[in-house]
Homo-oligomer: A and B are copies of this chain.
Amino acid sequence: MKIALDAMGGDNAPVETIKGAMMALEEIEGLELVLVGKKEIIEEELSKYSINKDKIEIVDAREIVLMTDEPVSAIKTKKDSSMNRTLELVKEGKVDASVSAGNTGALIAASQLRLKRIKGVLRPAIATMFPNKKGNMLMLDVGATADCKPDFLNQYAMMGSKYVELLMGKKNPTVGLLNIGTEEGKGNEITREAYELLKNNKRINFRGSIESTDMLNGDTDVVVTDGFTGNMVLKTSEGIAKFMLSSIKEEIGKSFIYKIGALLLKPALKNIVRKMDSSEYGGAIFLGLNGLSIKAHGNSDSTAIKNAIKVANRFAEMKFIDELKNIIDIQDKEIKL
């Protein structure tokens, strides 16, 4: 497999991106990497490593989409950005998948613009892993499409189920509709209509609505929602986790005894932080596009980059895009019947 990495994307690029790339090359057999960005900078970083460079190719790109850039205009004006060039390699079939930790909004816009939707896909979705009591689950859409129609959610359920089946090896994964109540008829217009579609969709293992208080109990493998709500839930989770951790820190600072307690508990607390940290999960993927574009978290360190490359590699090995095309084809035929 050959994977393109946006070497300049993310808060810790290029040091951590290149380091992550080196880790991936050591870990994944048969992997080849294309590092995209300013040639001289990449070469300088690479010179730090004694690794065999046969499996590394560099594609020069003179511009960088900054984390602070306005997404759409950055994509339009910075044609020679590392992000753009990375996606072009996917589009032209020169690589099997791509990874970027760069500006999320820009990557959403660029991925849609460069890779285009699979024929029959109503809207692409961003799918991401989320921790729960039994391990983790997939949530989608978490931000590609803010105004969703019920039909979109029905497709997300099918694409998400295929993801969990192939990537996590779980047969017949359970699907839940994210909602504010579990009884039929609960929710807003979108969820009420989506509920009907999901209930009647024989191609998924639908288990009804699920509330966000309970979604972490581990009984749902695929949590389906519109991009506005999904993004809101993701950001709320991040906000609450940060708030709790900072509250704990504040409390600890209040007494010497607490400080000793915290010292003893430090490794345990660190595990919690890691559990809540999205960078552990190897990023998010744009589902429904004609090509594999993986988004690593903006503040990814080398491990997170390596994990994202591993995920990209697995998706490519599974021929995930072909699998999705297959689902959409079958759905099209069913609709015509």
A interface with B by C-beta (< 8 Å): 70, 105, 131-133, 143, 146-147, 178, 180-181, 183, 187-189, 191, 211-216, 226, 228-229, 231-233, 235-244, 246-248, 251-252, 254-255, 257-258, 260-265, 267-269, 271-272, 275-276
Contact = CB atoms under 8 A, between A and B. Distances in A.
Contacts of A236: 212-213, 232-233, 236-237, 240
A297 B74 CA distance: 48
B239 A215 contact: yes
A188 B265 contact: no
A74 to B, nearest CB: 13
Q: Count the copies.
A: 2
Contacts of A251: 268-269, 271-272
Contact of A268 (B213, B243, B254): B254
A243 B188 contact: no
B262 A265 contact: yes
Contact of A237 (B211, B240, B252): B240
Contacts of A229: 228-229, 232
Contact of A133 (B178, B213, B246, B271): B246
A294 to B, nearest CB: 21
Contacts of A271: 247, 251
Contact of A216 (B105, B243, B264, B272): B243
Given A232-B232, A235-B180, A239-B213, A258 B254 contact: no
Contacts of A131: 243
Nearest to A257: B264
Given A180-B228, A246-B133, A248-B268, A211 B235 contact: yes
A146 B258 contact: no
A147 B187 CA distance: 8
A287 B90 CA distance: 53
A265 B276 contact: no
A239 B180 CA distance: 13
A275 B244 CA distance: 9
Nearest to A145: B188
A329 to B, nearest CB: 30
A216 B237 CA distance: 12
A156 to B, nearest CB: 16
A146 B187 contact: yes
Given A229-B229, A239-B212, A239-B213, A272 B257 contact: no
A205 to B, nearest CB: 22
Nearest to A180: B231
A205 B46 CA distance: 53
A166 B178 CA distance: 36
A235 B261 contact: no
B272 A228 contact: no
A146 B246 CA distance: 32
A180 B244 contact: no
A235 B187 CA distance: 13
Nearest to A231: B180
Given A236-B212, A264-B264, A244 B243 contact: no
Nearest to A216: B243
27 contacts: A105-B181, A131-B243, A143-B180, A146-B180, A146-B188, A180-B228, A212-B236, A212-B239, A213-B235, A213-B242, A215-B239, A229-B229, A233-B236, A236-B236, A237-B240, A240-B244, A247-B271, A247-B272, A247-B275, A248-B272, A254-B268, A257-B264, A258-B264, A258-B267, A258-B268, A260-B261, A262-B265
